[in-house]
Amino acid sequence: MKNKVAITGNEAVAQAMKQINPDVVAAYPITPQTEVVQIFSSFVSNGQVDTEFVTVESEHSAMSAAIGASAAGARAMTATSSQGLALMFEMVYIASSLRLPIVFPVVNRALSGPINIHCDHSDAMGIKDSGVIQLFSENAQEAYDNMIQAVRIAEHPDVLLPVSVNFDGFITSHALDVLEVLDDDTVKSFVGRYQPEEYLLDAKNPVSMGNFDMYDFYFEHKRQQVAAMEAAKKVIEEVGKEYEAISGRKYGLIDAYRLEDAEMAVVVLNSAAGSAKGVVDELREKGMKVGVLKPRAFRPFPFEAVQEALKKVKAVAVLDRAETFSTLGGPMFADVRTALYDLKNDIKVVNYVYGLGGRDLRLEDVEKVFGDLADIIKTGRADKFVNYLGLRE
Amino acid sequence: MTPFNRNFGQGRNTKAVRLDMNWKELTKAGNIYEPGNAATYETGDWRTIRPVWNKDRCIHCLICWRYCPDASIISTDGKFDSFDYKHCKGCGICASVCPVHAIDMFSEDEIDRREEARKNEE
Amino acid sequence: MEKVLEVRWHARGGQGAKTAALMLAESIAEMGKYVQGFPEYGPERMGAPILAFNRISDNPIHIHSNVINPHIVIVLDATLLGPKVTQGVPDDGIYIVNTTKTPQQVRGILKITGGKIYTVDANQISLDTIGRVIPNTPLMGAFVRATQLIPYEEFMENMKAELAKKFKKKPEVIEGNLKAIERAYQEVKSE
């Protein structure tokens, strides 16, 4: 393997940003994202990138500046975590509704309170309905690869939506991992030059963006965003294929691990999918037919791919690293269960909320989940469909 | 990569946005490509009082032209010509700034009544 | 190496355990192995007990949970010797301790019968070679000796490159650090 390096997730993402060499980065530091911005700003001050770095006073301003830059015609990025994303929330909707291809890493961290700096997906789930594309990354390699592909996905003329690249705070961001980086020229030619069809600084073709919509047009413009999300599914796959050609690594909407003949499956995002794969390998050796489904794209939700991957299993456990407080389990549970409902295969779908505030997901926890699924298959009953994994009951 | 599904958001090809356009026909994100298109929005029906020009008093200083917030004073060859009643909202600023009281504001109701009365007489 | 080798570092905030765990991982990665290096982030205060972890394998590592059953335990501060150090460690575990005590004495404190214990006076070594007490680099030398996982010469070559990268602006400390690793490699006592 050439260009193999041992770096942390944050270093990998900063490296990807360096190779993408965006026109504008506007960001505000927040744990655990800080290093991304800090390392990238050193690239700026060392003249290793041509980026205009805008130091802003908040995440709300960070996204606002990125929106302004992107609308003006620049390739713009920001980056954040947790409370930062929460403060950015209002502008995330503006970015997606203005159809601006802003790429921004989100280093997943719990939301206060109680105050906590560790990993869960509450921050990302807060913007799941905002119209941004959300890619999730199992490890530093995927975070790096997703960043580079995100640029192409966001800027595709059928899509034109912001893309957030999620990876787990501390677990991925601060852990040193071995990954392969592409050389600068390969990345440069893959992302290409950003040539927006329309932008504010195009004096010859004036355009007015961010206009006022009444009830007579707003609805139609929202429908356009849905169409862009729908188109994104195909674009994510196409860009993934192109990326495989330059990297040798496969990327699609989902990652189906040992699911071909599986009777039981766990659906889980980000780094926990890696731990689940480790458990699956062990249980397979004991003869259990188990597998893991890791959605890479969470928005748009690849329900067709999820249906296809899970249509033959008998029982599914969805692991959510976020609560909805709906008393109906986590956010991904609702989506997976909805996707499987129409299959009418009587697949039992249960939910486990795990890892809130950085609580470690232990291998025994995943083993327990598969044990529960085996019981459900044996008895044909799933009485309790929302469970808490690793919680002191 | 081949473009596909590009039948929505017509972009620059769409000039005037119309209410009967569906979501596929409308411009992306509601972007507007035609400068000065506010002219297509006729604000004249907001008006309840109407400015009327007194030709004999007017000294053609065009102070009204400068002050009108809706660009509804039409001038020709540096002289007062007429009001653009399609856009005039009847704010009365022109009448108020006129140094020689050459613009009078009349209620639209009053004007309607007078016109009806005149028609009846005929 | 069949399975993933797991390492746990016990230290106090400020002793450089996180740096050591990451540097160790980087130099082992240089040798073509797959590694992880990560600290346990808690309230970070100078002097508070902290943990850091490594995973080392010949194959890509999927697992991202904390290390629960480390085969190797490295203790940067002898005042931390206690039940937490032996927690989850298998009977044939390896302990590498920075202390002036003998391996026998450490065995007594840890109250264990199995396993292998290595001791090295990393404080004195770092004082002699680097000029102040930073026990993290010498302990890497002890690690190489104790585990026999990687050839010493090759490790030193990689470490030289790592240090050169890390101390680009302070080249004078590179030599001292290398000397510290070398001395610890030679002076480590075992039982």
Q: Predicted confidence band at B2 (pLDDT cuts at 50, 70, 90)? A: very low
Kindly report the backbone phi and psi dihedral angles of residue C21, in degrees, each rounded to the nearest multiple of 5, phi listed first: -60, -40
- Residue C150: predicted pLDDT: 87
> Which residues have CB under 8 Å from C42's CB, separation 6+?
C48, C50
One fold for A4-247 and A254-389: yes
- Residue B5: predicted pLDDT: 34
- Residue B104: predicted pLDDT: 95
Interface test with A, best of C6, C64, C166, C168 (most A CBs within 10 A): C64
Where do the H-state alpha helices sit in B1-122?
63-67, 93-97, 108-121
Q: Is the pLDDT of residue B4 over 70?
A: no
C161 touches chain A (CB under 8 A): no
- Residue B13: predicted pLDDT: 57
Place of tokens 């990876």: A167
Q: Predicted confidence band at B42 (pLDDT cuts at 50, 70, 90)? A: confident
Q: Do A234 and B4 touch (CB under 8 A)?
A: yes
Could you give the strand order of the β-sheet that contains A348-354, starting from the edge strand earlier in sequence?
A254-257, A290-295, A264-267, A315-320, A348-354, A386-389
> Which residues have CB under 8 Å from B119's CB, separation 6+?
none
Q: Find out whether A6 and A15 touch, Cβ atoms under 8 Å.
A: no
Q: Do A158 and B5 touch (CB under 8 A)?
A: yes
Burial of C111 (0-12, 13-18, 19+ CB in 10 A): exposed
CA C67 to chain centre: 15
Q: Find out whether C66 and C83 touch, Cβ atoms under 8 Å.
A: no
Q: Predicted confidence band at B1 (pLDDT cuts at 50, 70, 90)? A: very low
Residue A202's closest chain B neighbor by CA? Answer: B33
CA–CA min distance A132, chain B (Å): 14
Which three-class secondary structure string do you get for chain A?
A: CCCEEEEEHHHHHHHHHHHHCCCEEEECCCCCCHHHHHHHHHHHHCCCCCCEEEECCCHHHHHHHHHHHHHHCCCEECCECHHHHHHHHHHHHHHHHCCCCCEEEEEECCCCCCCCCCCCCHHHHHCCCCCCEEEEECCHHHHHHHHHHHHHHHHCCCCCCCEEEEEECCCCCCCEEEEECCCHHHHHHHHCCCCCCCCCCCCCCCCECCCCCCCCCHHHHHHHHHHHHHHHHHHHHHHHHHHHHHHCCCCCCEEEECCCCCCEEEECCCHHHHHHHHHHHHHHHCCCCEEEEEECEEECCCHHHHHHHHCCCCEEEEEECCCCCCCCCCHHHHHHHHHHHCCCCCCEEEEEEECHHHCCCCHHHHHHHHHHHHHHHHHCCCCCCEEEECCCC
Neighbours of chain A (3+ CB pairs under 8 A): B, C
- Residue C93: predicted pLDDT: 96
Query: Within the 308-367 window of chain A, which residues sit less than 8 Å (CB to CB) from chain C?
Result: 360-363
Q: What tokens does A34 get?
A: 């800080």
Question: Is the CA virtual torsion A184, A105, A359, A35 positive or negative?
Answer: positive
* Helix, strand, coil abundance in chain B, percent, nearest 5: 30, 15, 55
B51 and B89 together in one domain: yes
- Residue A319: predicted pLDDT: 98
Domain A4-247: assigned CATH number: 3.40.50.970
Count: domains in chain B: 2
B95 and B67 together in one domain: yes
- Residue C1: predicted pLDDT: 53
Q: Find out whether A122 and A111 touch, Cβ atoms under 8 Å.
A: yes
Side chain identity at C21, as an amino acid letter?
A
Residue extents of the structural domains in chain A:
4-247, 254-389
A-B C-beta contacts closer than 8 Å: 67
Rounded CA separation A313/A263 (Å): 4
CA–CA min distance C42, chain A (Å): 9
Kindly report the backbone phi and psi dihedral angles of residue C131, in degrees, each rounded to the nearest multiple of 5, phi listed first: 100, -5
The neighbouring-strand residues paired with A320 are: A353
Question: Is the CA virtual torsion B25, B31, B37, B41 positive or negative?
Answer: positive
Report which of B39, B15, B38 is spatially closest to residue B25, judged by C-alpha positions. B15
Q: Do A274 and C62 touch (CB under 8 A)?
A: yes
Place of tokens 């769409």: B14
Kindly report the backbone phi and psi dihedral angles of residue A379, in degrees, each rounded to the nearest multiple of 5, phi listed first: -90, -15
Rounded CA separation A71/A83 (Å): 25
- Residue B16: predicted pLDDT: 65
Which member of A216, A227, A238 has the closest CB to residue B8?
A227
Pairing of β A315-320 and β A264-267: parallel
Q: Predicted confidence band at C45 (pLDDT cuts at 50, 70, 90)? A: confident
B4 and B15 together in one domain: yes
Which member of A198, A220, A235 has the closest CB to residue B31?
A198
CA–CA min distance C55, chain A (Å): 10
Interface A:C, ≥3 CB–CB pairs < 8 Å: yes
Q: Is the pLDDT of residue C9 over 60?
A: yes
DSSP B55: T
Q: Do A231 and B5 touch (CB under 8 A)?
A: yes
Average pLDDT, chain B: 85
Rounded CA separation A6/A71 (Å): 37
- Residue C170: predicted pLDDT: 84
Average pLDDT, chain C: 91
Which member of A157, A221, A238 has the closest CB to residue B26?
A221
Q: Do B30 and A216 touch (CB under 8 A)?
A: no
Which member of A175, A178, A274 has the closest CB to residue C38?
A175
Which member of B4, B11, B35 has the closest CB to residue A158?
B4
A272 touches chain C (CB under 8 A): yes
- Residue B3: predicted pLDDT: 34
Q: Find out whether B18 and B57 touch, Cβ atoms under 8 Å.
A: no
CATH fit for domain C5-190, picks 3.40.920.10, 3.40.50.1860, 1.10.10.10, 3.30.1490.20 = 3.40.920.10
DSSP B32: B
Q: Do A224 and B19 touch (CB under 8 A)?
A: no
Q: Find out whether A236 and A297 touch, Cβ atoms under 8 Å.
A: yes
Q: Predicted confidence band at B18 (pLDDT cuts at 50, 70, 90)? A: confident
CA A151 to chain centre: 13
Rounded CA separation B23/A224 (Å): 6
B41 touches chain A (CB under 8 A): no
B7 touches chain A (CB under 8 A): no
A172 touches chain C (CB under 8 A): yes
A33 touches chain C (CB under 8 A): no
Kindly report the backbone phi and psi dihedral angles of residue C116, in degrees, each rounded to the nearest multiple of 5, phi listed first: -130, 140
Q: What tokens does C180 get?
A: 């510290």
ipTM confidence = 0.84
Side chain identity at C114, as an amino acid letter?
G
Q: What tokens does A145 get?
A: 């690869």
A-C C-beta contacts closer than 8 Å: 66
Rounded CA separation A12/A173 (Å): 9
- Residue B14: predicted pLDDT: 59
> What's the CATH number where B82 sits?
3.30.70.20
Where do the H-state alpha helices sit in chain C?
17-29, 83-86, 103-110, 122-129, 136-147, 152-166, 172-187
Side chain identity at C69, as an amino acid letter?
N
Chain A residues touching chain B at CB-CB below 8 Å: 97-99, 156-158, 160, 197-198, 205-209, 211, 213, 216-217, 219-221, 223-224, 227, 230-231, 234-235, 238-239, 242
Residues of A in contact with C34 (CB under 8 A): 178
Which member of A172, A178, A361 has the closest CB to residue C35?
A178
Q: Is the pLDDT of residue C16 over 90?
A: no
A390 touches chain C (CB under 8 A): no
Rounded CA separation B64/B81 (Å): 12
Low-confidence ranges of chain A (pLDDT < 70): 1-2
Q: Find out whether B27 and A99 touch, Cβ atoms under 8 Å.
A: no
Please report, for residues A169, A357, C45, the alpha-carbon distance to residue C42 in angstroms, rounded to integers and kept in the order given. Answer: 13, 12, 9
CA–CA min distance A215, chain C (Å): 48
Nearest-Å Rg of the Cα atoms of chain A is 21
Q: What tokens does C2 get?
A: 């069949």
Residue A216's closest chain B neighbor by CA? Answer: B19
B104 and B79 together in one domain: yes
B51 and B81 together in one domain: yes
Residue A257's closest chain C neighbor by CA? Answer: C62
Q: Do A99 and B32 touch (CB under 8 A)?
A: no
Q: Do A220 and B11 touch (CB under 8 A)?
A: no
Residue B1's closest chain A neighbor by CA? Answer: A238
Rounded CA separation C52/C23 (Å): 12
C29 touches chain A (CB under 8 A): yes
Question: Is the CATH code 3.40.50.920 the one for domain A254-389?
Answer: yes
Structural domain for B1, as ranges: 1-41
Residues of C in contact with A175 (CB under 8 A): 36-38, 64
Q: Predicted confidence band at B122 (pLDDT cuts at 50, 70, 90)? A: confident
Residues of C in contact with A171 (CB under 8 A): 38, 64
